[in-house]
Structure 1
């Protein structure tokens, strides 16, 4: 038996929480995942005009061992190139932002804009 308010556990036979006075339940509902903290650690390193370019960038970061995610307002990216979308953002952890920026700055010839990760 559990108190749904303070989450104290009771032996079978008790019906009310001695601290809260609330009726006990057989089990507690699962805790919702804490997404706020992990999202606060993410920063946008680039914004791409289409899903293809964003996927290529994400693949480059994955190959370098940098976890990333895409965020977009294009609802799947399969429609025609409409100007209604604001682009597809690629996000990484704050501590990976500098390395991710350096990797994404390398063009197809292998040239870069300066910084190379160690």
Structure 2
């Protein structure tokens, strides 16, 4: 089925142009999601031993406009829910394009 590369609408086989965008249809859309994911891949920022420090740094990064992915090690996520904290460690990840800015933020926070 043909697709409009601009509005991503799908058309019947006999249609050649997008009636909304007035451009030629293509047989297959480029996989833009893969490109976006490649640009926004996560990078490990820091590994911490306790979730309290991780929460503090996570809040500081988010205040700076940096998205954060927090991953508990092992069963740490379960322990954090069950016990309220975990000492198994936490890894903080940020999008690769924010890595340098995030390093500056945590350097100021941990100094």
The match for 2:51 is 51
**TM-score normalised to the size of structure 1?**
0.51
Point out 4+ residue stretches in structure 1 off by more than 4 angstroms.
79-82
Does 2:100 match 1:102?
Answer: no
Residues 102 and 79 (structure 1), Cα distance of their counterparts in 2 relative to 1, 3 Å cut: same
> Matched residues in 2 for 1:54 and 1:42: separation?
17
Q: How many residues align?
A: 77
What's the secondary structure of 1:106's corresponding residue?
A: helix
Pick from 86, 95, 107 the counterpart of residue 93 of structure 1.
95
> Matched residues in 2 for 1:67 and 1:98: separation?
13
Alpha-carbon shift at residue 48 of structure 1 (Å): 1.0
Report 1 or 2 for greater relative contact order, CA contacts < 8 Å, sequence distance ≥ 6: 2
> Matched residues in 2 for 1:54 and 1:47: separation?
9
Alpha-carbon shift at residue 80 of structure 1 (Å): 7.0
What's the secondary structure of 1:53's corresponding residue?
A: helix
Unaligned segments of structure 2, at least 5 residues: 1-11, 13-33
Alpha-carbon shift at residue 107 of structure 1 (Å): 3.6
The match for 2:63 is 63
CA-based RMSD of the aligned residues comes to 3.1
**TM-score normalised to the size of structure 2?**
0.54
Unaligned segments of structure 1, at least 5 residues: 1-8, 10-33, 112-118
> Matched residues in 1 for 2:62 and 2:41: separation?
18
